[in-house]
A and B are shown apart, each in its own frame.
Chain A
Amino acid sequence: LGLALYASSLCTVSGATFLYHDYCVIGAGPAGLQVAYFLQQASRDYIVFERSHAPGSFFALYPRHRKLISINKQYTGKSNSEFNLRHDWNSLLSHDRRLLFRHYSRDFFPNADTMVHYLEDFASLLKLQVQYNTAIIHVTLEKNEQAWNGHYFLLTDQDRKNYKCSSLLVAAGMWVPNVVNFPGSEYVEGYETVSINPEDFAGQTVLILGRGNSAFETAENILGVTNFIHMVSRSRVRLSWATHYVGDLRAINNGLLDTYQLKSLDGLLEGDLEDLAIVKDKKGKLHITLRFYLENRNISAGIDSITLPQDELDNFATRAPYDRVIRCLGWKFDFSIYNRSLRMMPGKGNIKKYPQIKPSYESKGTRGLFVLGTASHSVDFRKSAGGFIHGFRYTTRAVHRLLENRHHGVPWPSTVYPITQLTNSIIKRVNEASGLYQMFSVLADIILLRENATAFEYLEEYPIGVLAELEMQTGRKAHSGLFVIIMEYGRNFSGADKDVFYYNRAVGEAQHAWQSNFLHPVIYYYKHLPTEREMKLRPPEWPLPRPDAIHHIVEDFLTDWTAPNAHILPLRRFLENCLSTDLRNFFAESCFLFAFTHQKLPPFCQQGYLRMQGLVGSQELRHHAVQAGLLQDYTHTDFSGDRPPDSHDGSQEQLMRDHAIPVRPLQHLVNAKDE
C-alpha cells in the first residue's frame, strides 16, 4: 500500500489535484519541527505546512516583551547531555549537538528572537520538509477503506491548493486570543497589540484583566511608571513554585505581588469578568461597574445615569477610574479550520481552550489525527509540562513512536537486559532521563519482564494514560508482569494555597520515602497489565491504578539517586520482593562456593560467573567484604577441623546478619531540603 501511494503521490480526486503525503503536519513551530525531525529520521513521507514565511511565527510576536520564561541553563556541573536537558527548556531533540539552545543564547531567560532564530536553524540544518507561506484554511475527511485510518485528510490552503495525507499531525499551537465580551469591552486593549513602551503608561492607572504570565509580564513592564495597577481575574493567583506547574505565574514576573503585599500599592482582585462592565466618562476615564447595573440603564442618558457600585458601596474596591484596561487572557486553539466531520471539539471546563484528545494525543473525534505541542496540553493541563517545549518535545517523540508501530510495524524501541541489570537500568534512567523528569506523571519508562524473570525489556517514555493499550500501541508483549517508572511530587504538596516551605517538607530516610514531597521516582509493579477499566477506576489523584507493589525512591536534594544505601538498596529490595529472587552481586569466590553447595545459583552468579564473567574483585575489595562480614575468609583456617559447627554452618546469610554494622543515616544531613 505504501508503495502504491508513493507511486501516485499526485492523485486526482473529483477534479481537484491533491498533493499526497503520508504525514501532514500543520504548523512549523517547535512541535511541528520536532515531529518533522522524527519523521525525517525515520525516512517517512511528510510535509510541514507553515502559514508564515519562517518557522516559529508565534515567537516572532510573543511574548510581547520578548523575554522567554523558559530557562536556558548554561552550567549544571554535569556533562551528561541527557541530564542537562532537564534544565534546558528550549532545545528541541535532535542528534545534532549544535542544536542546543545554550549555543544560541547565554541568557538564563533568553530573548524570543533567539527562539525564532533557533527554530530557523533547526529547520534548515536538519533539512526538514517545511512548506512556508501555506496557511491551511480547511481540513476535511475523505472516506477510503484503503487508507491507514479508514479515511484521508484533505487539506486546503489559502490558495485553494489541496493536499491529501494519511495521518494529520496538528501542531498549530494556540494563537487565537481569548476575548471576553462585556459592556464596554470595546475600551479594552489586547495583549497582542498593547504598547510595550513603558513611557506610554507614565502616570496612568491601569487595570489588567487576567492573571497569567502574560498579564504579569505586562504589569512588570509598566510597574515603575504607572500610578497603580490592578489585576482582575476569576481565580486566585497561582504561583508556579507553589503549584509545581510551569504554566502558572513564574517568579520572574511577580514583581507586582511585591508592591501589592508590601505597600498596598498595586493589587489583585478576584471576580468574574463576565459580570463586569466598563463605562467611559467624559474625561475618558474608565469606570468599572457591573453588568447588572447596566441592564436597567436608560440608553439615552449619559454616564451620569449609570449606577456605579461605589454609589451603593462607597468603599467598592475598584471605584477609582482607570486610564487603560488591558486584556491578557491567553490564547485558544483555532477550531475553525476543521470540517465538522473531524469532530474537533473543545474540551470541558478549564481545558475548553484545547481540542479534545486521548492520552495518546490522538483526537477523540478522528482516528489518525494527532495533536502535538501546546495544543495537546489538555492531557496534563496544570499538572506537567506537556504544553511547553521542554515537555512536548518528549510527548511528540512518544506520538512518533506510536505512529511507527501503528503504520510501519516498527515496535517501540526497547533494549533487552539480563535481570541482573534491573536495578542499574532503573537507577540510570531516574538519574539522567529528561523525559521522565519534565513530563513527570505523564510519561513513564516501562519494564516488561520476560518469562521466569531472567531478563527484561526496557521501554522509555511511554504515555501512561494509554498503559492499558501498551501491547497494541508498542508491539511489545507484557506476559510476565511489568514495572512502571515515573516521577511524582508528593500528593497534596503542590497547590496554589499550599505552603511549600514548611519545616520538614523533605524526607531524608528511605523508609519514609513514600512521603517524599519533591519530585522523586516512583516504581509501580503490576503482575498483569492494568486493564482499561482499572485505569478508569484508579484512585483520584493517582496517575495509575493500584499496583501490586509500589516503591518510592526517597527525594533527594541533588536529584542524585545513586546513594548505595539510601537509594539503591531499598530499590533492590523492592525489585527482589516483586520478582521473588535475590538480586545481590557476588564476588566470583562466593559464586564458586554456591556452585558447590547449592543446586541453584543466584542470578548474578548464573548470568556472570557461570558464563565465565565472574567478578573476581581486587584484594582490597575482598578484604573489605570480609571485614563487613559479607564474605568468609578461609585463608587462615586451621586444618584440625574441630571448630564448633555453628560458627560456620550457617551460610553467608547468617554471617551477614551477625556481623553487619548498622549504617546510621546522618539525621540532619540527609534531611537536606529543609534548611
Chain B
Amino acid sequence: MSAQKDRWVSSLVFLLFCASSIPRSGSVGLQQEPSPQHYFSGLEAGKASLAFFTPGVSPGAQPFLEQIESSAEALQDYGISVVKVNCPKDDVSRYCGKENALRKAFLFRGNRLIREFPTDALFDVNSIVANVLFALLFNEVKYVETLADLENTENVLKGKSNMVFAYVPATGTAEHRAVMEAAFVYGTVHQFVLTTEAALLKATSHDDPDVSSAWLLFCHCQQATDPAQPCRRTALGQPLTLLNIHRHLKLMGAPLVTEVAEDPEKVSTVHLQLGLPLVFILSQKETYEADRRTAEFVAWQLLGKAGVALLSRDLVDLNVLHRSNIALKTPDEGMPIQYLVLEDTDEVITLVEDKNKVKQIQEDEQQEEEEEEDEDGKENNNQDIQDDQVVEAVSRDKKRELPLEQILVLTEENFHSSLSEAARTVVLFYASWEAVSLAVLRSYSEVAARLKGTPGVLLCRVNCWDWPGLCSQENVTQFPTIKIYKEGQQSVTYDGMWGTEELSSFILLSRVPCPLKLASMDEAEGYLRGEFPSELSSHHHTSLLGVFSTASSEAREAFEEAGNILSGHVRMGMYFEDDALALSQKYSVSPPALLLARSGGRSVEGIALSKHSVQDMVQMIRYELLDIFPEITVPNLPRYLQLRKPFLILFSAGDISQMESKEMLKLAERRAQQAFVACWLNLKKTPVGHGILRKYFSTTPSLPVLLWVNLHAGGQVFRFPPEHSITEMNILSWLEKLQAGLEIPSSTLSEEDWKPPLPAYDFLQMMEPSMSELSPHASPRPGDIPPVPHPPKSPGEDTAEGDTATREESSQESRAEEVGSPGRDLRGTAPRLAARDKQGKRHSEL
C-alpha cells in the first residue's frame, strides 16, 4: 500500500498535467479477459483492478459498459486496470453465477475484493473514478458526517499536518472526482476530509453557502497550536476542479512570504508560474520587522489569490519613487511591474482580489501619479515658477550692472541739499526689492543717458528700502514714484507711462512753464510753428495756445490751472496781450480760444473756449489732442480707450495706403457721428497686433484687415468683408448692416475674469492635522514609516494564544520605538530628504 502510494505521489504532478501520458505496460483502455480464472490468476499483488463480469451480451448493461469503458483510461492513470471478464456460459462461480453479480462491478486490490459497486452507482466516468478512488483511498480520505467528527479530526491533526476539507453535494459527482483525484496525489501530505452533509458546509463557511455547490477548505492545522481555536482556513475560491484544487494546494504549500533581494523583474515564484500576481512589499532596513509583519498579514489575506514577497530596498537599487511601498507583478508576459503607493493593507487586498480593479487602480494611480506629479509639478514646477513676466524679466536681468552713474543717489542726509543743486530735480523713489520699481529704474537709466548734458535737470533716485522715513516724508506710498522738484514750487508727480520715451519727454516738457506765457505776437507765432521756446524746438509735439483777451480772466485762470495739471504731458502756451484778438482772428476764432498746432502738419486749428471750469478745460484739451484717425500704439491706446467707444480699426502690415487713409479719414471726419474711434494699427511698429489678430482669427488674415471691435459692450469683433474695397461708402453700408445685426461676429472677446493663475499652498489644510494632533508620536515620519500602515493585528495572533491584546500592545510599542522614537528623542531631526517627502510634511512637533 505505502509503496503504491509512493509511486502515486512521485508521478503525481506529471500525472495531472499530462494525464494521458503515463507510461504503462499493457494496452490502454479496457482489458478483455476471457474467463474469471484467467482474470484472477493474472491479478498482481497490490495492484488494483475493477472488474465486471459479463455473460455475453446483456442489453441492460450496455450503457453502463460504455461508461466503464470510457473510464478505463482515466482509471489507468491511477494504476487501476479495468477488466471485462467474460463469463463462460456454464460458469456458476461467485462472480459469474449469480444474476445480481452481473449487475455489479468489483474492485480488487491484488486478488482481494475491496468493494463491489452496483452498476447504478457507476453512472458515468466521474462517478466511476470518484467511487473507485474513494474506495481505494479509504484511509487518505476521511468521510465525516457531523461537525464533531470534523473537529475531532482537526484536533488530532493540529501541529502535525494540514487538512483539506471538502464538501460535495453528492458522491460520484465531478467535484467528488476532482477531490478524490487530488486526494490520490496529496493524500499522503494532507489529510483529506470529505462530507456530503450540508450542515457541515454551513458550519464551515461564513455566509449563507449554496448547498448545491462544492466547497473546499485548506485548514492550516500544522502550524496551529491552540487546541481551542480552529485551524486557520483558506477556502478555494474557484470551482472544484482537479486543476484548481491542485493549484490551491500548491499555493498553500508555498512559503507565506518570499524574501527577495533581487530585481523584481527577475523574481519568479510559484504564484507567477500558476498565473497569479505577486505583490512586493517594499521594505527598508529600519522598518524591516514591521514590514515583515505587514507582509505576513497581507499574505494571509491573499493566500490563494496572490503571492507576497518582501523586497528590501536597501539591497536592491530601485529606480522608483521613494514613497512607493507596493509593487505588483502580474504573470502576464511583458507587463511591467507597477509601483504603487497604497495607504492601507485593504487596498493591497482589493488590488489583487478584484482583477478588474487592478487595472482601475493602476489607471487611477497613474492618473494620481500624474496628478501628484502635477501637484508636485504645481508645487515644484508650476506654483514655484515665476509667472509674472515683470518679476521674471527683472530677476533675469539682475546680474547686469545698470549704467546708473548719471543718476545721483539720494539719502536722508543729502536729499534736501541736492534739491537745490539744479533748477529741476527728478527723483525716482523705488524699492530695491520690488520688480516694477527695478523695471522702471532700467528705463530711468536710459532716460539719464538720453538727457545727459541737458542743462538744468538733475536725475536722482532714492531707495525707499534704505530710507523709509524720507519716502514717507515725501508722501511716497507706492513704488515706483517719480517726482520733479522745482525750487520754490510744489513737486510734480509723474503720472505717465513708465517708458523711456514718455519719461524723457515729460522731463523735457517740464522744463518750461505750463502754460508758457508768450510776450509777443512773434513769440506766439513761433510757438505755434514749434520754434519757440528753443528748449523744445527739437521736440515734436502738438502745441496748444490759449488766447485770452484781457477781459476773460476767468477762462485764463482755469487754463493756467489746467496747465498745471497737464504739465509735462502737453505743450501749452498762453497769450493775453492786447493783440490777442488779432491773433485769434487769424484763425477765425475769438478769444477766449484755443489754437491747436498739430505736430507734423502744422496746420493751426482754432477752437472757441466755452467752458471755464478747470476740469472741463482739462478734459477738453485732452480730447482735442486726440487724433482724428490715429495710429494706435501701445502707449497711446489708453487715451482712446477712455472714450469708451467701439473701435473701427484697420490692421495694416506697414503704413496704410494713401487711398485707405483718405477713405478712413473721410469716415473719421464725420465727427458728428462720433460713435466710434476710427484708427489703424501698423503691425510693423506694433507687432503685438499679430497677437490680437491671432486671437480673433487663429491665423493672421490677409492684410490689411478692417475690424469693428466692440471693446466695451459685448466684445464682438466683426470683419469688414475682405472682398470689398475699403471705401467710405462701403464701410458705411457695412456699419449699417452691423447696426442692424445682420453681420455675424468673427470673434468675441473673452469675458473671463482674471482669476488667480495658480493655487496657493494650502497651509491651513496642512496645519489642520497638527491642530487636532495631540501626541507627537502619532505623526508619521517618512524615512522610517513602514510602507503600509500596520494591520490592526499581527498575523498569527488570530490563532495564537488568546492574549492578543498584549501582543498588539507590544507590537505597537515596538512600532513606536521604530517609528516614533526619533521624533520623541530628537524632536523632528528628520533627515532633510524625509522632510521633503509628502508624508513628512507633517512635523513631528507640530
Contacts and interface: CB of A to CB of B under 8 A. Distances in A.
Interface of A: 78-82, 415, 417-418, 421, 424, 427-428, 431-432, 490-493, 498-499, 502-504, 507, 509-515, 539, 546-547, 549-552, 562, 564-565, 568-570, 572-574, 576-577, 580-590, 592-593, 595-603, 609-618, 620-622, 624-625, 627-628, 630-635, 637, 639-643, 645, 648-649, 651, 653, 656-657, 660-663, 665, 667, 671
In the A-B complex, list the 6 residue pairs whose CB atoms are closest, starting with the nearest.
A616-B499, A562-B433, A576-B756, A641-B700, A634-B687, A630-B389
A583 B756 CA distance: 7
A381 to B, nearest CB: 23
A417 B477 contact: yes
Nearest to B764: A550
A201 to B, nearest CB: 40
Interface string B764-784: 101100110000000000000
A574 B386 contact: no
B498 A570 contact: no
Contacts of B692: 593, 596-597
A649 B519 CA distance: 59
A663 B836 CA distance: 16
Given A551-B763, A584-B387, A618-B439, 14 more contacts: A424-B478, A492-B845, A504-B828, A510-B384, A510-B761, A550-B767, A581-B753, A581-B756, A584-B388, A593-B688, A597-B696, A641-B700, A645-B699, A653-B387
A562 to B, nearest CB: 3
A167 B440 CA distance: 50
Of B699, B754, B827, B846, the most chain A CB neighbours within 10 A belong to B754
A143 to B, nearest CB: 44
Contact of A421 (B388, B478, B691, B841): B478
A617 B389 CA distance: 11
Contacts of B526: none
B156 interface: no
Interface in B729-784: 749-764, 766-767, 770-771
Interface in B290-331: none
B698 A649 contact: yes
Interface string B609-628: 00000000000000000000
28 contacts: A81-B468, A431-B465, A504-B831, A565-B386, A568-B433, A569-B386, A573-B756, A581-B753, A584-B389, A584-B390, A585-B436, A590-B389, A593-B688, A593-B692, A596-B709, A597-B695, A599-B715, A602-B754, A613-B498, A615-B390, A616-B501, A618-B442, A633-B687, A634-B691, A648-B698, A651-B695, A653-B757, A671-B832
B760 A573 contact: yes
Contact of A580 (B689, B756, B828): B756
A660 B771 CA distance: 36
Contacts of B690: 634, 637
B62 interface: no
Contact of B500 (A491, A570, A616): A616
A615 B762 CA distance: 32
B388 A600 contact: no
Contacts of B434: 424, 427
B638 A598 contact: no
B764 A615 contact: no
Given A577-B756, A597-B695, A614-B497, A79 B388 contact: no
A512 B841 contact: yes
B145 interface: no
A511 B765 CA distance: 12
A511 B497 CA distance: 36
B385 interface: yes
Given A570-B761, A610-B641, A618 B392 contact: no
B479 interface: yes
Contacts of B380: 662
A615 B480 CA distance: 11
Given A547-B764, A550-B767, A511 B637 contact: no
Contacts of B220: none
Given A573-B758, A615-B436, A620-B397, A589 B469 contact: no
B431 interface: yes
A169 B434 CA distance: 42
B411 A564 contact: no
A648 B497 contact: no
A405 to B, nearest CB: 21
B416 to A, nearest CB: 14
A653 B386 CA distance: 12
Contacts of A612: 495-497, 638-639
Given A79-B466, A491-B846, A504-B830, A614 B763 contact: no
Given A588-B635, A628-B392, A648-B694, A511 B383 contact: yes
Contact of B694 (A515, A574, A649, A663): A649
A634 B634 CA distance: 14
B382 A657 contact: yes
A590 to B, nearest CB: 7
Contacts of B761: 510-511, 513-514, 551, 570, 573-574
A547 B771 CA distance: 13
A628 to B, nearest CB: 5
B433 A427 contact: yes
Contacts of B845: 490-493
A657 B383 CA distance: 10
Contacts of B469: 81-82
B384 A572 contact: no
A588 B499 contact: yes
Nearest to A551: B763
Given A502-B826, A597-B750, A643-B699, A634 B390 contact: no
A622 B760 contact: no
Given A80-B468, A630-B389, A600 B753 contact: yes
Contacts of A570: 383-384, 760-761
Interface in B778-821: none
A78 B763 contact: no
B137 interface: no
A514 B766 contact: yes
B248 interface: no
B724 interface: no
Contacts of A637: 687, 690, 700
Interface string B429-473: 001011110011011001000000000000000001111110000
B386 A660 contact: yes
A80 B465 contact: yes
B759 A577 contact: yes
Contact of B755 (A504, A581, A631, A633): A581
B385 A512 contact: no
Contacts of B412: 79, 81
B369 interface: no
A379 B133 CA distance: 92
B139 to A, nearest CB: 68
B703 A630 contact: no
Interface string B243-270: 0000000000000000000000000000
A564 B827 contact: no
B440 A615 contact: yes
A568 B391 contact: yes
B394 interface: yes
A635 B502 CA distance: 22
B670 interface: no
Interface in B681-723: 686-692, 694-696, 698-703, 709, 711-712, 715
A662 B498 contact: no
Interface in B588-636: 634-635
Nearest to A611: B638
Nearest to B376: A511
Contacts of B467: 79-81
Contacts of A649: 694-695, 698
B846 A490 contact: yes
A378 B702 CA distance: 77
Given A592-B688, A600-B753, A576 B760 contact: yes
Nearest to A646: B698
